[in-house]
């Protein structure tokens, strides 16, 4: 196929891109239920605000990409109207749609963040069955802390109870931790490891607030910093949400450059820090990935939300970061369209970008294929030790097929 941008696809690159199975190193489950049009359109955007009447979230790059690339997977023509697409989606049902789209993403392994709205989503095992990929859990630090509070703790006992709970969760086969400090406060949380006394004091204040408000939502900067450092101490890669996210977030304070001092302090300990999503700060993330040996990044959900324009984003992600520091992720959540489009659009974009390099004589074919294999799978396999994890995780077909 010729590339979407009009750049002539290099056939050898195209062949590798078409056949490579990706490691999607940060996703969430797909929703288990069949969705109404209103529900579907809500999940299409990160905004939780009402739209102006008469508008639709299909009038976006994501909407175009769904009609272009997902429609044929539901046996429809490309560019069918949104209404027809959604009617077919309902007719097939969530199970069939999830299976079709997740399979079409051609994934080798997925790492699933289980920390948000987990009861409505396919879990780690279900995602494995539906996608046909190996799957492992990413444990969200804030969720573990909130569970510890729900179970009952004291200001002085929290730190120890949290460390034990985290260790226990990770011991069940998890491959990474994840911080959403960007959502709860910003990445300008205190960067030094908090003193035990400061953690107790902050916890005392927060427990009083929980009592008063009746809601458990950890947003104290000292506690968020403590959670981050606890993740570092576990010596598994720590994924950190940066950039693009929902309307809870202050985008300026989710710029990963806020983490610079933290990254300097973590560096001698050797724990890897993975900057997630990053858009529109993917260039800042690429800079940090070049500076610090333990820092990695992806361009996550920016890919599906920018649709055909993601080729520019993908091209920019290949500017200054070493090729061995970038990972592939769809950040798929809720709609299996996201899991599929992340993969489809990344494949399209990377074909364009690398074909351009090769055709203009700036890169040879062997190196171009090596670069796409590194970002598409090899970097993640090495970072998360996926090749030495216990077997028994492969999809086996037969009775477990949904």
Task: Enumerate binding residues for Zn ion (CB under 5 A).
Answer: 331
Q: What is the DSSP string of 159-197?
A: HHHHHHHHHHHHTTT--EEEE-HHHHT-S-S--SPPPHH
- Quote the least distance from Cβ 17 to Zn ion, whole Å: 24
Q: 234 or 331: whose CB is closer to Zn ion?
A: 331
Three-class DSSP category at 378: helix
**Beta strands at 134-140 and 238-242: parallel, antiparallel or unpaired:** unpaired
- Minimum gap (Å) between residue 107 Cβ and Zn ion: 16
Question: Minimum CB separation from Zn ion for residue 244, in Å?
Answer: 10
Q: Minimum Å distance from CB 365 to Zn ion?
A: 34
Which is closer to Zn ion, CB of 113 or CB of 234? 113
Instruction: Give me the least distance between CB of 20 and Zn ion, in Å please.
Output: 23
**Residue 332 carries which DSSP code?**
-
Question: Cα–Cα distance between 223 and 299 in angstroms, integer?
Answer: 28
CB closest to Zn ion, residue no: 331
How many degrees, rounded to 5, is the angle at CA 100 between CA 98 and CA 105?
95
Q: Is the Cβ of residue 273 or residue 353 nearer to Zn ion in the bound state?
A: 273
Comparing CB distances to Zn ion, the nearer of 206 and 281 is 281
Question: Closest CB to Zn ion among 186 and 300?
Answer: 300
Tell me the closest approach of the beta carbon of residue 247 to Zn ion, in angstroms: 15
- Cβ closest to Zn ion, residue 113 vs residue 352: 113
- Cβ atoms 134, 128 nearer than 8 A: yes
| Rg of the chain, C-alpha, whole Å | 21
Enumerate residues 6+ apart whose C-beta is below 8 A from 310: 61, 302, 303, 304, 345, 346, 348, 349
């Amino acid at each position: 196929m010729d590339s979407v941008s009009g750049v002539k696809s290099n056939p050898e690159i195209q062949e590798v891109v078409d056949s490579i199975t990706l490691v999607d190193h940060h996703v969430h489950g797909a929703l288990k239920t069949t969705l109404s049009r209103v529900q579907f359109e809500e999940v299409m955007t990160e905004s939780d605000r009402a739209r102006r009447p008469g508008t639709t979230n299909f009038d976006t790059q994501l909407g175009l990409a769904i009609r272009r690339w997902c429609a044929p997977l539901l046996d429809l023509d490309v560019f069918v109207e949104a209404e027809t697409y959604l009617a077919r989606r309902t007719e097939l049902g969530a199970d069939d749609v999830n299976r079709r789209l997740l399979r079409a993403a051609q994934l080798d392994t997925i790492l699933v963040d289980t920390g948000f709205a987990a009861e409505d989503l396919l879990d780690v095992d279900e995602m494995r069955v539906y996608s046909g990929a190996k799957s492992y859990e990413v444990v969200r630090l804030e969720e573990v802390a909130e569970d510890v509070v729900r179970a009952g703790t004291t200001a002085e006992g929290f730190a120890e109870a949290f460390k034990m709970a985290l260790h226990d969760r990770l011991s069940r086969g998890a491959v990474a931790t994840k911080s959403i400090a960007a959502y709860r406060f910003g990445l300008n949380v205190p960067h030094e490891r908090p003193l035990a006394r400061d953690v107790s004091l902050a916890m005392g204040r927060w427990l009083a607030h929980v009592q008063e408000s009746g809601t458990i939502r950890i947003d104290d900067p000292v506690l968020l910093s403590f959670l981050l450092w606890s993740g570092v101490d576990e010596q598994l890669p720590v994924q950190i949400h940066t950039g693009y996210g929902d309307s809870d977030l202050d985008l300026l304070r989710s710029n990963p450059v806020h983490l610079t001092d933290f990254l300097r302090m973590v560096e001698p300990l050797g724990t890897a820090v993975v900057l997630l999503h990053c858009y529109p700060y993917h260039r800042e993330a690429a800079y940090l990935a070049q500076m610090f040996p333990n820092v990695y990044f992806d361009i996550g959900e920016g890919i599906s939300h920018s649709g055909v324009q993601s080729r520019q984003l993908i091209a920019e992600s290949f500017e200054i970061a070493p090729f061995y520091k970038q990972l592939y992720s769809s950040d798929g959540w809720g709609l299996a369209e996201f899991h599929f489009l992340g993969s489809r659009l990344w494949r399209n974009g990377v074909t364009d970008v690398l074909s351009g390099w090769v055709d203009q004589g700036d890169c040879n074919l062997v190196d171009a294929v090596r670069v796409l294999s590194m970002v598409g799978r090899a970097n993640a396999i090495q970072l998360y030790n996926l090749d030495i994890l216990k077997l028994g995780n492969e999809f086996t077909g037969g009775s477990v097929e949904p």
